[in-house]
């Protein structure tokens, strides 16, 4: 059985992925009912241990969303562990070279030899080095999405935290166009105000944080109250 979001990507449709920002299975289950395609479970910057990851993956599946885990690093044993915990795919950071991309594919194939085709494999290209090596990275078979990460890219450009700075945005858009032109699928981080722009730019995996929605909702609620 093919993962539904992989079918959507194959049809050229936009897939949405939300980071719950908190290691909570109940929050994952609730977010999954809101119509998003995937829940992103971050183990590079997040706090969830392996048992909590397993619970969050189960909660995502119950809600009808896929569970995509970002491992701490591009290490076969970590990738295997998270896939065994129930992840529907992995989004692996710091894929700076074609060899790193090949190692990622090999790790997933080794871990899930019986159902590899049903797993989403996302390679994060998020540095100037990765963008310089992009033609070779794109030549690696077995990767479903090439995700241009503006966070780490802004860091390597000497503009930490400025994910949507015009210079960062320009590089992200250029990389996305190169990915799409090669016949591959591009993904990136978005926010509500610019999600449509990135979709129009060819990106098909759009990623956002639940905390952004909480912040916007809280601000709107406070503004709706009378002064005093």
Token pair for 111: 């871990």
What whole-number distance in Å separates Cα of residue 197 and Cα of residue 99? 32
What whole-number distance in Å separates Cα of residue 139 and Cα of residue 44? 26
DSSP letter string over 181-205? HTT--EEEE--TTTHHHHHHTT--E
Catalytic residue (choose from 45, 94, 113, 165) = 45
- Please confirm, yes or no, whether 45 is among the known catalytic residues: yes
Residue closest to 143 by CA, chosen among 198, 195, 205: 205
Phi, psi of 177 (to 5 degrees): -65, -40
Token pair for 157: 């450009």
Secondary structure (3-state) at 206: strand
Contact present, 126 and 148 (Cβ < 8 Å): yes
Contact present, 131 and 175 (Cβ < 8 Å): yes
Query: What is the chain's length?
Result: 228
Beta bridge partners of 148: 125, 188
Catalytic residues: 45
């Amino acid at each position: 059985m093919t993962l539904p979001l992989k079918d959507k990507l194959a049809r050229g449709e936009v897939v949405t992925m939300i980071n719950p920002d908190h290691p909570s299975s109940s929050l994952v289950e609730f977010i999954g009912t809101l119509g998003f395609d995937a829940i992103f479970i971050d183990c590079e910057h997040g706090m969830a241990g392996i048992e909590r990851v397993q619970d969050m993956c189960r909660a995502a599946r119950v809600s009808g969303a896929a569970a995509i885990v970002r491992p701490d690093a591009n290490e076969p044993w970590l990738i295997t562990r998270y896939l065994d915990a129930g992840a529907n795919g992995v989004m692996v950071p710091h894929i700076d070279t074609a060899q790193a991309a090949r190692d990622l594919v090999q790790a997933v194939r080794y871990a899930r030899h019986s159902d590899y085709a049903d797993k989403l494999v996302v390679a994060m290209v998020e540095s100037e080095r990765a963008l310089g090596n992009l033609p070779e990275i794109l030549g690696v078979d077995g990767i479903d999405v090439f995700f241009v990460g503006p966070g780490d890219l802004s860091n390597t450009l000497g503009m930490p935290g400025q994910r949507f700075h015009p210079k960062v945005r320009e590089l992200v858009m250029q990389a996305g166009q190169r990915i799409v032109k090669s016949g591959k699928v591009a993904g990136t981080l978005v926010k509500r105000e610019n999600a449509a722009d990135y979709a129009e730019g060819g990106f098909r995996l759009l990623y956002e944080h639940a905390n952004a929605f909480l912040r916007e909702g809280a601000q709107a609620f406070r503004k709706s109250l009378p002064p005093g």
